[in-house]
Amino acid sequence: MPTDQSALVPDVPTKGLPRHIAIIMDGNGRWAQRQELPRIEGHRHGVTTVRKITEKCSELGIEHLTLYCLSSENWKRPSAEIDFLMHLLQQYMIEERGTIMQNNLRVRMRGRRAAIPEHVLCELDKTVEMSRTNTGMWLNLAINYGARTEIVDAVRAIGDKVQSAGLDWHDIDEATIAKHLYTAEVPDPDLLIRTAGELRVSNFLLWQISYAEIWVTDQCWPEFDESSLCQAIREFTTRDRRFGGLNL
């Protein structure tokens, strides 16, 4: 993993950085309410935080950043809020293309495409295609994502191969399941960050975060900044990751 750029950032170790950071971006609405603003203003400010944190992760040499943008449960929210979130997503895909290319980012979507409006998917696909030949950090956007749904889809895909492609069910192992998840080509997260102080994983990457280090802050997502990210990374580098074994 590249670390030359990390040396330019004070107080962040140059070794032992997480290869993959996943973030549950929580608290947009609560932040807005505290500011006596409409909830949608929290989402608007949250997009600014996305830009800052994405650029900082790229600068630090992080290989993969996965952002929980829209869960499969979020469709239960008021239709006006969902419509605004779709508008923000479409706007982000258009307006951030310059930043994406400048930072050499590669964009991918993780989640079910169904239910996402076609005009939003169109702009998302354009950005994904435009960034395809970049060589920098992977920006994975979890949109209409739910980990249980992901596992169900994986089981169905494996079942189809058992039934029609000659896969022996005795040969199904953890690697088989991992290859059929939305994140098939992505290494498991090393560090999971959650904002707004909630102590739950909210159906996010349930399979993939089995051994991720978890870091929670009381800051709402619009308040989360580069120094907060660096604090999380510094703490990550001090943890003793044993993966069920012993470091003797």
Catalytic residue annotation:
26, 74
User: How many other CB atoms are there within 10 angstroms of residue 208's CB atom?
Assistant: 22
d(CA 18, CA 238): 11
Q: How far is CA 171 from CA 156, 158, 162, 168, 175, in A?
A: 16, 11, 10, 5, 10
Pairing of the two strands 106-110 and 213-216: unpaired
207/64 Cα distance (integer angstroms): 17
Q: How many CB atoms lie within 10 A of CB 15?
A: 8
Cβ–Cβ under 8 Å, residues 127 and 93:
yes
Rg of the chain on CA atoms, in Å: 19
The residue type of 113 is R
Cα separation of 211 and 191, whole Å? 9
Residue 68 bridge partners (DSSP): 24, 142
Of 172, 170, 169, 212, residue with least CA distance to 188: 212
